[in-house]
């Protein structure tokens, strides 16, 4: 089991939901934190809270939808703080829009935030991890990364892309002392559906009942970190929503009949 005490951790999407819960757990463990988000005010509040339990917490603000900002942020982190031990690619945005009605700009924006930003950061930080011969990379996928679902076309595509990319990376760098963990949360009680974008790019603004009844972000963070510490390749986090995952695996024809009838909320 890997200890994260005094280890340098960079986490995106840190100021809200699952990211915020991960940050609080990591602070309790005494990790050295670099917390990334767009929301400066929330980051500062979180930093002050973390500094009650850990000696090191710095903030960095950048927009995951702007590749240059992501590259610059990675360069800043390396220059100011050195080699990151654990990178948690967690920031993300969901959608509520039919594939046929979604403008390509929205599809590209979702892919940029939910996929390309993560691999930009990973590519930038990986060489120093390899040079040190240690490190962990984590990526937050989703149950939507295991099967497509109504009104989630590009979100689901980005989350599937996460799986393909990080599974490949894992096998390529396993012998260099670096673990890769992909987390697949199901329904977690955060604002993800409220912040999801519609076809016009505006926030959906509605709390999904499944998320409202879902696992707490705190509980999700505990499962997520346990998997990272153990160097597990993947972790499924949630409750009965994973029945659909198992149904697809073992009874795909029943799965495809059922999933099409479940409407998006
Ligand atoms: N909640 C669930 O049920 C669920 C299920 C499966 C997967 N996930 C995944 O879990 C991760 C965290 O989501 P969450 O549930 O915690 O939702 P959330 O509360 O909406 O958090 C999303 C985080 O991503 C950040 N983010 C979004 N767009 C960004 C951008 N352009 N630039 C920088 N940061 C950006 C947000 O920052 P701002 O505060 O600046 O908006 C926020 O911190 C996401 O990857 C999501 O896909 C969640």
Q: Domains in the chain, please, with CATH? A: 8-259 (3.40.50.720)
The pLDDT value given to residue 132: 97
Checking if the pLDDT of 80 tops 90, the result is yes
Q: Has 155 been annotated as catalytic?
A: yes
Segment 21-40 shows an average pLDDT of: 97
| Secondary structure of residue 36 in the 3-state scheme | strand
Per residue in 171-209, pLDDT tens?
999 999 999 999 999 999 999 999 999 999 999 999 999
Cα of 18 vs its chain's centroid, Å: 8
The pLDDT value given to residue 264: 72
The pLDDT value given to residue 261: 85
The pLDDT value given to residue 1: 87
Question: pTM for the complete prediction?
Answer: 0.97
Per residue in 128-161, pLDDT tens?
999 999 999 999 999 999 999 999 999 999 999 9
Q: How far is CA 69 from CA 50, 91, 175, in A?
A: 25, 14, 31
The pLDDT value given to residue 25: 98
Confidence of residue 170 (pLDDT cuts 50, 70, 90): very high
Cα 93 to ligand 1 centre (Å): 5
Checking if the pLDDT of 263 tops 80, the result is no
In testing the pocket of ligand 1, which one of 11, 90, 92 has its CB within 8 Å of the most ligand atoms? 92
Confidence of residue 11 (pLDDT cuts 50, 70, 90): very high
Per residue in 36-59, pLDDT tens?
999 999 999 999 999 999 999 999
Atom 23 (ligand 1) nearest CA: 13
Place of tokens 């240690």: 134
Checking if the pLDDT of 265 tops 80, the result is no
Segment 4-21 shows an average pLDDT of: 98
Q: How far is CA 191 from CA 92, 157, 229, in A?
A: 11, 21, 26
Question: Residues lining ligand 1, judged by CB closer than 6 Å?
Answer: 13, 15-19, 37-39, 63-65, 90-94, 113, 140, 142, 185, 187-188, 190-192, 195, 211, 214
The pLDDT value given to residue 169: 98
Question: Rounded distance, CA 167 to CA 116, Å?
Answer: 16
The pLDDT value given to residue 260: 85
Atom 8 (ligand 1) nearest CA: 142
Atom 29 (ligand 1) nearest CA: 64
The pLDDT value given to residue 39: 92
Segment 54-73 shows an average pLDDT of: 98
């Amino acid at each position: 089991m890997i200890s994260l005490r005094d280890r340098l951790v960079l986490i995106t999407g840190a100021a809200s939901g699952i990211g915020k819960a991960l940050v609080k757990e990591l602070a309790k463990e005494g990790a050295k934190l670099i917390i990334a988000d767009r929301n400066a005010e929330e980051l500062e509040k979180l930093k002050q809270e973390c500094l009650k339990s850990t000696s090191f917490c710095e903030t960095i603000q950048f927009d995951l939808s702007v590749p240059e900002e992501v590259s610059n942020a990675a360069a800043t982190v390396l220059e100011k703080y050195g080699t990151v031990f654990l990178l948690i690619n967690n920031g993300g945005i969901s959608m509520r829009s039919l594939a046929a009605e979604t403008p390509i700009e929205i599809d590209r924006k979702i892919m940029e935030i939910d996929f390309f930003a993560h691999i930009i950061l990973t590519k930038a930080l990986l060489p120093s991890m390899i040079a040190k011969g240690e490190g962990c990379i984590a990526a937050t996928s989703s149950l939507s990364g295991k099967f497509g679902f109504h009104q989630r076309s590009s979100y689901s595509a980005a989350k599937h892309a996460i799986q393909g990319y990080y599974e490949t990376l894992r096998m390529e760098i396993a012998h260099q002392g670096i673990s890769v963990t992909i987390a697949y949360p199901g329904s977690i009680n955060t604002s993800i559906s409220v912040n999801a974008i519609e076809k016009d790019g505006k926030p959906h603004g509605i709390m999904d009942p499944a998320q409202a009844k879902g696992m707490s972000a705190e509980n999700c963070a505990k499962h997520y970190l346990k998997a990272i510490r153990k160097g597990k390749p993947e972790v499924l986090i949630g409750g009965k929503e994973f029945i659909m995952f198992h149904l697809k695996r073992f009874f795909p024809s029943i799965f495809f009949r059922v999933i099409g009838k479940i409407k998006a909320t």
